[in-house]
Amino acid sequence: MGVVITDISALEAYRHDSGFSVALPSRHSFGKRASLALMRPRAVEFAELSSRGFGFLSAPVHVMVPRKEMRFQTDGVVWHVCSSELPQRAVREVAHDIFLVSPEIALLHCSLRKDVRELILLGFELCGAYRLGEGDSFRKADRLTSPSALARFAQVHSKARGSALLSRAAKYVVAGSASPMESALAMLLSEPCALGGYGLPAPRMNERIDMPSKSGLSQSKRYYVADLYWPRARFAIEYDSDCWHTGSDRIAADAVRRNALLHMGVRVLTVGRQQIASVSKMDDIAKIVARALGHPLRIRVKGWGERNRELREIVFPWGKDADRNCFWC
């Protein structure tokens, strides 16, 4: 008995509670098909989800079972059948008889309804250090998986529906993003032109840049973290958040940071929210980045403008309105 939550419902759970990323002691091992076969959900368990602290799940709730015959007619439930063997700790017990699939399985099931660009964005979140909240909010959180783990999972389960799309998405996910706007900026710059991006090399995100012990700078730290960084070109982009980069102390600290990086030979470009939200200004940013990387900006895809518009609406739904106040900063 028990309910195994998957798909977008699992993502909602990960977004709701960072503790769900750590498996609780479980009475079951889910490394083999025979173990998962022990799970047989009951109608009463769905009725109790809200009273047991899972009322945040939106309807319908997505549930995984190992065999078709375990499904039954009930309102507000979408069934996913998984009859293949699963890796160890692929399903985690987060409450008594309530289980959560791994991020890899959740994305696999999401891929059955998502555009590849939507799947990539979800990958940025789960491989990053934030989780989306209600409305435009987000919170800091631990990384739950990695692009390589997503790729390996898709390869091992290559016969599963959605695995091809998950494999494709994993190629373009970059780990380490700290906010939705950092993800949006990285996706716009590095997604291939066929997906509406500028087709530039992918950056490393929130990369640590160590300072030499004798930098000669009085106020330098032992290291700095660059939001987006291309090591070969020694070029970084700092996202200038409207929320976190205000106030005289913060502005002064940012200036010291940029000066220290410049002293290390790292060129720094500062980008704000309204620049990213503006199509023409984002074009200018892409040209600057392309030149800094020594990578020609060649957009030769027919209908790229429309694809770029679609990508912008995916990475931030308010993308067509540069003046809207956004909590993402």
Q: Transcribe 302-322 into DSSP letters.
A: TTHHHHHHHHHHHH-TTTT-T
Reported as a pLDDT band with limits 50, 70 and 90, residue 29 is very low
Residue 151: pLDDT above 50? Answer: yes
List the domain boundaries for the chain. 1-101, 107-176, 180-315
pLDDT band at 261 (very low <50, low <70, confident <90, very high): confident
Query: Is the pLDDT reported for residue 201 higher than 80?
Result: yes
Please say whether the beta carbons of 102 and 91 come within 8 A: yes
Structure confidence at residue 23 (pLDDT): 45
* 268-297 average pLDDT score: 95
Share of the chain above pLDDT 70, in %: 84
pLDDT at 129: 96
Per-residue confidence band for 31, with pLDDT thresholds at 50, 70 and 90? very low
Better-scored residue on pLDDT, 244 or 276? 276
pLDDT at residue number 1: 65
H or E element: which one contains 251? Answer: helix 248-263
| Model confidence pTM above 0.75 | yes
Indicate the range of 11-25, 117-131, 315-329 predicted with least confidence: 315-329
| pLDDT above 70 for 18 | no
Three-state DSSP class for 133?
coil
Q: What is the pLDDT of residues 73-87, one digit of tens each?
A: 888 999 999 877 777
Q: What is the per-residue pLDDT across 212-247, written as a single tens digit (0 to 9) for each?
A: 776 666 556 788 899 999 999 999 999 987 654 455
The pLDDT of residue 205 is above 80: yes
Supply the mean pLDDT for the chain. 86
pLDDT recorded at residue 253: 73
158 by Cβ neighbours in 10 Å (0-12 / 13-18 / 19+) ranks as: exposed
pLDDT at 256: 78
Token readout for 131 is: 């989780």
Reduced 3-state DSSP string for 269-302: EEEEHHHHHCHHHHHHHHHHHHHHHCCCCCCCCC
State which of 90-94, 213-217, 279-283 shows the largest mean pLDDT: 279-283
Q: What is the radius of gyration, based on Cα positions, of the chain?
A: 22
Residue 318: the pLDDT is 52
Give the model's pLDDT for residue 211.
81
pLDDT in tens, 117-126: 999 999 999 9
Query: Tens digit of pLDDT for each residue in 160-176?
Result: 999 999 999 999 999 99
How would you list the strands of the sheet with 91-95, edge to edge?
77-81, 61-65, 3-5, 98-101, 91-95
